[in-house]
Amino acid sequence: MNVYNFTGRLARDCEQRFTQSGMAICSFSVAVDYGFGDKKGTNWIRASLFGKRAEGGLPQYLKKGTQVAISGELRISEYQDKEGNTRTSVDVNVDKLDLIGGRNDGGQSSGGYQQGGGGQQRSAPAQKSDPFADQPDFNSAPVDDDIPF
């Protein structure tokens, strides 16, 4: 099984293009942080959506700084750069993409747009209030000592 799950922020706006046969391809890079303190670093993951998943309204939400959660197939390859140095590329063919936050620059949150499995769906934007505020607090409920177990 080859499934890679990660969250990060888009490093650049999505680039949408079409093959000669008309298939849509949407490519973007995701910055994924790891570690903490002086050992903090960033992995750069190249991600691609193909076919119907790369069409429709999704590319308009894939802007630089947008936080995303991605699940897909991982590919690691090596190539030679212009100076002749060997580089490693980490690429993911995206199977599922969830927009989980707004942009760093204070832009509006993109809501709950989800992409996966070939279909598109739009869920309601996240609520800022506590959804459990009207629920009883079971931690402060009286203890019933007559429970037989």
Length of the chain as a residue count: 149
Q: pLDDT band for 65, please (50, 70, 90 cuts).
A: very high
Query: What's the pLDDT tens digit per position in 29-44?
Result: 999 999 999 999 999 9
DSSP for 94-142, written as a single string: EEEEEE-S--TTSPPP--EEEEETTEEEEEPPPPSS-TTTTS--GGGSP
**Are residues 57 and 100 in contact, defined by beta-carbon separation less than 8 angstroms?**
no
As given in the structure block, the two tokens for residue 61 are 């939400």
Tokens of 62: 């894939």
Domain 4-140: which CATH number of 3.60.150.10, 3.20.20.390, 2.40.50.140, 3.10.20.30: 2.40.50.140
Per-residue tokens: 8: 């990060």
Task: Take residue 71 and report the two structure tokens written for it.
Answer: 């699940």
pLDDT in tens, 108-120: 444 444 444 444 4
**Amino acid 134: pLDDT:** 54
**How is residue 115 written in tokens?**
């992409």
pLDDT category of residue 144 using cuts at 50, 70 and 90:
low
**Residue 83 structure tokens:** 């100076």
pLDDT at 29: 94
User: For the chain, which residues make up each domain, given as ranges?
Assistant: 4-140
